[in-house]
């Protein structure tokens, strides 16, 4: 989950490292550091805190080769000693991942005379590389990594040599003119190049100013494709918004539109999904689908369950990736993995478990060239653009968009959705971006309601059927960025225990848009009101009844029942954002969290 950058070129490296690290700070912000070869020795400067804290202590350093790191602590407290880079002799290392046999290696290295000063597993790697170093850094890194069990993305310097490698953690190489770059994620280097190479697992790269050499574990040269990245650097900047999260909430209409673009024709009732390598016969004969994900992506998958079961009548299981990987898959079933980054460690492990069981696999992700996309049978991209805020917003909306398209397409192929219904649904789906914009234009009203709850310590979000996953997502967003204890529940479950926690001091967000369970939802709201809770309802603009039963209402445009969750999502995101802002929380970088979870 940490951020790694490296540079070898003709320019001064410190400004490039610092700028690139700032664009990776969503991956970790417990501590930061750089190592630069100044022509005589490797200088290391690091400190706890964020990149701006590191900048304050940096002296003038001259050098054109270096490495940098921003840390999300997995082993060892977030302090200066545990901050990366770690060194041994002339070797300096930055690392993302977990070394599982760290203790055994540490014991062996200690007996060999190496002295450890940190609590981290990464220091083992620095000493190992130093142990094997014999005037060739590539050989030393390759030999050391053979001793490592676990995951890693590493960048290593020794004098004017720079080497990078990966296993189960993302790493890209940026190709420039007389300069080359290494980074954990593409936005870090968009300012300097759009040409990138995606390293695969167990590959090692030697990075000089004018060329890059890549090897497999046997030191055979590997020919790699250079990809041209079509992203705008402005997508990775705030563009006048106070926080990335608010900017990305406002980008959702565009992200949804881009995810639809070229994939639907509402006039013909047709959906075309690039990257879906399933035949119509395979779809028709499909009896079971598993959706696997973590966090926000799991909530998307849970809504996907309702969508698929309504559109196809197929049995759907939705499971947390870290649990699914220890279960047994049914051969021949379809496993859909959902991951914003395409690098989520538990999701990737679950995917591999599914493939080993003979399952067909499909990924929904936002990142081209990510590990998951290279291992699945099919992939449908979400086209959200870079998302910098740790709390997922536009990637969630785009995941939902893909799930709607998939469920409708499967339903059509299986004969459960006729042409007229498909045309109607696609026409409604195409209106969603404009309807989201209407909600965003009304955000001051949402802000005013949110500020009423800034001092609350507990919160409930409730919904039924399609809206239940949005209740979960609303609670997750509030927990992530405001640190308020929040729970999402299917409203019918309140009387089975949670109602004991409802008091006048516990606000309740009731997602009560019109649909098949609307009357039951109203009864659940009455149960809550009978316990004196303040109830804020999210209801559609044509509902003239809901005001009788709640304290306040936020209106969303009327649409098909199954599409209303996307509109409710924008509301709960804004509520969470404005509550967190009123509490002066660090919205884009919530404590203990990072954007891409690449460790188990």
User: What is the predicted pLDDT for the residue at 238?
Assistant: 78
Residue 359 annotated to the active site:
no
Q: Is residue 446 a contact partner of residue 554, using CB atoms and an 8 Å limit?
A: yes
Picking from 481, 262, 270, 489, the residue whose alpha carbon sits closest to that of residue 392 is: 481
Q: How far apart are CA 373 and CA 362, in angstroms?
A: 9
Query: For the packed helices 295-312 and 468-482, what is the interaxial angle rounded to 10 degrees?
Result: 170
Where do the domains of the chain lie, and which CATH numbers do they carry?
3-230 (3.60.20.10), 239-430 (3.40.50.10490), 436-587 (3.40.50.10490)
> Which listed residue (2, 294, 359, 401) is catalytic?
2
From edge to edge, which strands make up the β-sheet containing 458-463?
A: 485-490, 458-463, 508-511, 535-540, 552-556
**DSSP SS3 for 553:** strand
User: What is the predicted pLDDT for the residue at 315?
Assistant: 87
Q: What is the DSSP string of 433-459?
A: HHHHHHHHTTHHHHHHHHHHTTT-SEE
Q: How far apart are CA 379 and CA 272, in angstroms?
A: 13
**DSSP SS3 for 154:** strand
Hey, CA dihedral for 193, 241, 249, 261, is it positive or negative? negative
User: What is the predicted pLDDT for the residue at 378?
Assistant: 96
Q: Is residue 346 a contact partner of residue 151, using CB atoms and an 8 Å limit?
A: no
> For the purposes of burial, counting CB atoms within 10 Å of the CB of 537, is it exposed (0-12), middle (13-18) or buried (19 or more)?
buried
**DSSP SS3 for 36:** strand
Query: For the packed helices 394-413 and 564-582, what is the interaxial angle rounded to 10 degrees?
Result: 170
User: What is the predicted pLDDT for the residue at 594?
Assistant: 64
Other CB atoms within 10 A of residue 274 CB: 10
Q: How far apart are CA 53 and CA 437, in angstroms?
A: 38
Q: Residue 446 to residues 72, 162, 434: CA-CA distances in angstroms?
A: 33, 51, 18
User: What is the predicted pLDDT for the residue at 151?
Assistant: 86
Mean pLDDT by 10 residues, the chain (600 residues): 91 95 81 94 91 90 95 77 93 92 94 93 95 96 94 94 92 95 91 92 95 94 90 71 93 94 92 93 90 96 96 91 78 90 89 90 91 93 88 96 97 94 95 95 93 93 96 97 95 84 91 94 90 93 92 95 96 97 92 66
From its phi and psi, is residue 116 left (phi > 0), alpha (psi between -120 and 50) or beta? beta
Q: What angle do CA 117, 185, 223 make, to 5 degrees?
A: 100
Q: Would you state the structure tokens that stand for residue 482, as one six-digit string?
A: 């405001």
Quote the distance between the C-alpha of residue 493 and its chain's center: 30
Residue 294 annotated to the active site:
no
User: What is the predicted pLDDT for the residue at 71?
Assistant: 85
Q: What are phi and psi of 504, to 5 degrees?
A: -65, -15
Contacts of residue 181, Cβ cutoff 8 Å, sequence gap at least 6: 5, 6, 7, 9, 16, 20, 173, 174, 175, 188, 189, 192, 193
Bridge partner residues of 69 (DSSP): 4, 33
User: What is the predicted pLDDT for the residue at 503?
Assistant: 85
Contacts of residue 1, Cβ cutoff 8 Å, sequence gap at least 6: 27, 28, 72, 74, 96, 594, 595, 596, 597, 598, 599
């Amino acid at each position: 989950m940490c951020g790694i950058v490296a540079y070898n070129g003709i320019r001064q490296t410190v400004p490039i490292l610092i700028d690139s690290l700032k664009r990776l700070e969503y991956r970790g912000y417990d501590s930061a550091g750089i190592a630069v070869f100044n022509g005589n020795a490797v200088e290391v400067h690091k400190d706890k805190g964020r990149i701006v804290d590191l900048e304050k202590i940096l002296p003038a350093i001259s050098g054109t080769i270096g490495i940098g790191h921003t840390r999300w602590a997995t082993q060892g407290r977030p302090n200066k000693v545990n901050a990366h880079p770690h060194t041994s002799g002339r070797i300096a290392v930055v690392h993302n991942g977990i070394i599982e046999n760290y203790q055994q290696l540490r014991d062996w290295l200690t007996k060999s005379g190496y002295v450890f000063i940190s609590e981290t597993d990464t220091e083992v790697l620095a000493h190992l590389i130093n142990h094997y170093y014999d005037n060739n850094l590539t050989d030393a890194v390759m030999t050391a990594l053979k001793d490592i069990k676990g995951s890693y993305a590493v960048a290593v310097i020794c004098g004017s040599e720079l080497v990078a490698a990966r296993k189960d953690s993302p790493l890209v190489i940026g190709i420039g003119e007389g300069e080359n770059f290494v980074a954990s994620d593409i936005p870090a280097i968009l300012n300097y190049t759009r040409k990138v190479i995606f390293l695969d697992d167990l590959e090692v790269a030697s990075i000089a100013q004018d060329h890059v050499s890549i090897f497999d574990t046997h030191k055979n040269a590997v020919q790699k494709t250079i990809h041209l990245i079509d992203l705008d650097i402005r997508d990775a900047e705030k563009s006048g918004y106070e926080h990335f999260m608010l900017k990305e909430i406002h980008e959702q209409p565009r992200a949804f539109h881009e995810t639809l673009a070229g994939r639907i024709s509402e006039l013909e009732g047709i959906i075309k999904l690039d990257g879906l390598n399933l035949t119509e016969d395979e779809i028709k004969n499909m009896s079971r689908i598993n959706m696997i994900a973590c966090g926000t992506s799991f909530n998307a998958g849970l809504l996907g369950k309702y969508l698929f079961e309504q559109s196809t009548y197929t049995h759907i299981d939705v499971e947390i990736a870290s649990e699914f990987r220890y279960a047994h898959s049914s051969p021949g079933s379809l496993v859909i993995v959902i991951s914003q980054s395409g690098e989520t460690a538990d999701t990737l492990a679950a995917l591999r478990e599914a493939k080993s069981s003979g399952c067909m696999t499909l990924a929904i992700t936002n990142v081209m060239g990510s590990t998951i996309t290279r291992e699945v049978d099919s992939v449908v991209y979400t086209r959200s653009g870079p998302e910098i805020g740790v709390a997922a917003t536009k990637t969630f909306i785009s995941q939902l968009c893909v799930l709607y398209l998939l469920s409708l397409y499967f339903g059509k192929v299986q004969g459960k959705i006729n042409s007229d219904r498909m045309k109607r649904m696609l026409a409604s789906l195409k209106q969603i971006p404009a309807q989201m914009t209407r909600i965003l234009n009304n955000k001051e009203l949402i802000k005013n309601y949110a500020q009423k709850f800034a001092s609350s310590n507990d919160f409930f979000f409730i919904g039924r059927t399609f809206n239940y996953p949005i209740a979960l997502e609303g609670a997750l967003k509030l927990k992530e960025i405001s640190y308020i204890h929040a729970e999402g529940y299917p409203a019918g479950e309140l009387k089975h225990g949670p109602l004991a926690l409802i008091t006048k001091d516990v606000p309740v967000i009731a997602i009560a848009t019109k649909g098949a369970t609307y009357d039951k939802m109203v009864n659940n709201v009455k149960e809550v009101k009978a316990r004196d809770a303040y109830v804020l309802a999210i209801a559609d603009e044509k509902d003239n009844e809901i005001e009788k039963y709640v304290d306040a209402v936020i209106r969303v445009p009327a649409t098909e029942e199954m599409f209303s969750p996307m509109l409710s999502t924008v509301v709960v995101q804004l509520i969470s954002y404005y509550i967190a802002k009123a509490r002066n929380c660090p919205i884009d970088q919530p404590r203990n969290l990072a954007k891409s979870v690449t460790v188990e």
